[in-house]
Chains A and B, each alone.
Chain A
Amino acid sequence: MNLIREIWQSIVRRDPLTTDKGKSELVFLNVWLHIHPAKVKKENLKFKHSFYLGFITFFLFVILVTTGIALMCYYRPYPPQAYQDMKDLQFVVFMGPFLRNMHRWAAHGMVVCVFLHMCRVFYTGSYKKPRQFNWVVGVFLLLLTLGLSFTGYLLPWDQLAYWAITVGTNIGSYAPFVGAQVREILLGGHTVGEAALLRFYVLHVAVLPSFVILLTIVHFWRVRKDGGLSRPVWKLAPPKQQPLVTIGAPVETVALNVTAASKDKTYGLMEVVTGKPIFETVTPEEEEDTVFSYPYAFVREAVVLMATVTTIMMMSLFLDAPLEELANPAKTPNPAKAPWYFLGLQELVSHSALLGGVVAPTLMVLALLAIPYLDRNPSRRPVDRKLILWLFTFFVVVNLVLIVIGTFFRGPGWAMVPPWVHVVAGAE
């Protein structure tokens, strides 16, 4: 028994969790948990501040990696076999449909949650100094999520896949100067075929997920380094108050009072940092308004994880991921529609491929990237930010309207057909 205890204690070296020291050590002696601070502000944990959207997105990504690896065991990225493997997943593989459904709905969920997370960060003004760069990282994560969705729905090699590659790579070819080369590199040739499928597979299972993991690490690290989650808007100090006290920072007129280290100190202070810290300042009252990450933050995260997995599993039991017929280069389906999240883009390119497919999306992304640097207003309070809130809301509404038009108001030949008019398929 002593040996077992010794082994256990060699793995878990913290004090018991009943003590405050143990609660702290659980966090900072653990490589996985130490991205958290030992203590978090109580108000920041509230659901109504963040809706836990960042966590939900991350957990959906974990589901996607897990189910994705399982799906890779049943999939060959080669044109005729790829579709056959889809059929096997539907009818032969044990729990195959459930597995595929989970991957599909988690992917759709991730697109939704990344977008909602971005909206939450915007509306709470959480991209402001010092968090500007983390917003930029977040925009790239949004783009990677869309890239993963696009490369993902190509893999079944059904009609949707084939025509999405065709249209998608042709949009790329409208890019000025590099268009033709971009298309050739993406396709690995000039026509949509086996080389193209293999390349999109490599992008989907290796290249893009690696970048997502890298940027997620940076994103989380930055959240921590920028002072944790932003303060909820309702906790912001009212304007024209006394300046906040910065703990540990020298008051400008008073010399920093350095206490000589006692002889029994067991740590080394590498450098005395002077000046104000870059993260948000806290009042002593706020400092007391904190709780230990264990259990308060971890329990909430575990609940969010379970709720996310449960929701995706329930959806996967009742909703089946679509699969169209085998890719047929000779016959474009009519109408040929992308998944809902790209229908706004499809609506734009239906007016002009260059303006709608290249110029408008590029400008949108540049605008998103520039937001934290162009918005010079230091206040995070909604009353002080009316104009920019309206502008962003307009941006969101335009995107939603385009998606709604593309989804419900476009019929065969991309003609305007209201959803209440019944169109007989094939009646051309």
Chain B
Amino acid sequence: MTVNEIIMTITGAAIFSFLVITVWGKLVNLFGAIGGYIAAMLIPGTMWIINHGVNNHLIKQSGTVWIDMAWAVGIGVCISSKIQGGKVTKAKNTLMAVILSGIIGGYILTIK
């Protein structure tokens, strides 16, 4: 990866994560579940096109394993809620569930 590609990847990940952290909860507070659907169309839809869809996309894949932009929002939401006072120890069951479901889901996706 060149320096330009590194800058583009970090920028794309940061914009997506920042929009989810700041906008999504606000829209849900305003409109309820409908707000969540609106946010789902606006934020991941637009950012998928910028990050993965267009020809000169922001998140450059350096290797053969697909790195999805969802990693950025996963880490970003964790860190932002930690800063706002969330306890890591109380979330350990959910974290274990994420790891288990990642292994099960990844295995299911390989079956042809």
A and B: real partners? Answer: no
